[in-house]
Amino acid sequence: MGSVLNVIKIGGNVIDDEEQLHIFLEKFAALQGKKILVHGGGKVATRTAAGLGIEAKMIDGRRVTDAPMLDIVTMVYAGLTNKKIVSLLQKFDCDALGLSGADGNSIKAVKRPVREVDYGYVGDILVDSVNTLSIKKFLEAGFTPVFSAITHNGLGQLLNTNADTIASALAVSLSKIYDTRLIYCFEKDGVLRDVNDERSVIKSINPDEFEALKSAGVIYEGMIPKLDNAFHAIGKGVKNVYIGNALNLHLYQQGEFGTCMLAK
């Protein structure tokens, strides 16, 4: 196995808070070794769409991406947000390279099939979606890839794709080359046993404990897909997955960061 690689996904609430974003990116830049950052777009896409008279449609917390909305999310995620993050990382002496999945043919996806809901131009990741050799070239050249939540289908069509899923897919694919860790950074200190008590962080969870916590209603709603992605990654070769507060990233290499997801 090669050197250590950290794949880190930053949540939208941190992106929306300029002060928190600056603090996080300075800590990310200071993280030693090879690393990749994955981001979505926060609320900027919705505000931008509203300013252009385009209504954002959400179903079960997922964005419906019709053709006008695809233009908006591409401009915001792969453009404004991505370049803002890259420029700040350069400020902190991290040689970042802003990418969408189309760049270097890095991440392909397929348009989500229409079932009960037509989500429009939303991409689903397949087993062979990630071009590990292309991304390895960036990493070995000394760059830090910064991926927006935009992929492509290989036929000229861009697709809006869930950033948590992209981070998991990158970590799984690159675990064949590197000793890979996946880190989800958001505004909480970790997975909480009591959502009203910020101090009730669960230090580690294995798959059996995850099922028990779901059944007990401790883990619910938006945390379930995040942890589903986490345990999928562990089952496919990722060393560990962590979920914790973006502002505490400096504690990660000290072994004191958030909640650690464990294999059985």
CATH code for position 200: 3.40.1160.10
Mean predicted lDDT score pLDDT of the chain: 93
Of 35, 98, 120, 164, which one is the catalytic site residue? 164
What is the pLDDT confidence band of residue 191, given thresholds at 50, 70 and 90? very high
Asked about 42 being catalytic, the answer comes back as yes
User: Catalytic annotation on 120?
Assistant: no
For residue range 38-81, what is the model confidence (pLDDT) as tens digits? 999 878 999 999 999 998 888 877 789 999 999 999 999 999 99
| pLDDT tens-digit map of 213-240 | 999 988 887 788 888 889 989 999 998 9
**95 touches 155 (CB < 8 A):** no
User: Please, which pLDDT band fits residue 192 given cuts at 50, 70 and 90?
Assistant: very high
For residue 182, the enclosing domain spans 4-261
Instruction: Evaluate whether 244 touches 183 at the Cβ level (below 8 Å).
Output: yes
pLDDT for position 264: 75
Any known ligand binding at 248? Answer: no
Identify each DSSP E strand in 112-248 by its residue range.
123-124, 144-147, 150-152, 158-160, 179-186, 204-205, 240-245
pLDDT of amino acid 1:
58
**226 is an active site residue:** yes
Q: Is 199 annotated as a binding residue?
A: no
- Which of 40, 120, 226, 244 is catalytic? The answer is 226
To the query of whether residue 244 is one of the catalytic residues in this protein, the response is: no
Name the band, by pLDDT with cuts 50, 70 and 90, for residue 135.
Answer: very high
Q: 167: closest CA among 185, 189, 188, 193? A: 185
Q: What is the mean pLDDT of residues 194-220?
A: 91
Average pLDDT rounded to a whole number, residues 242-253 = 94
Q: How many domains does the chain have?
A: 1
Q: Is position 160 annotated in a ligand binding site?
A: yes
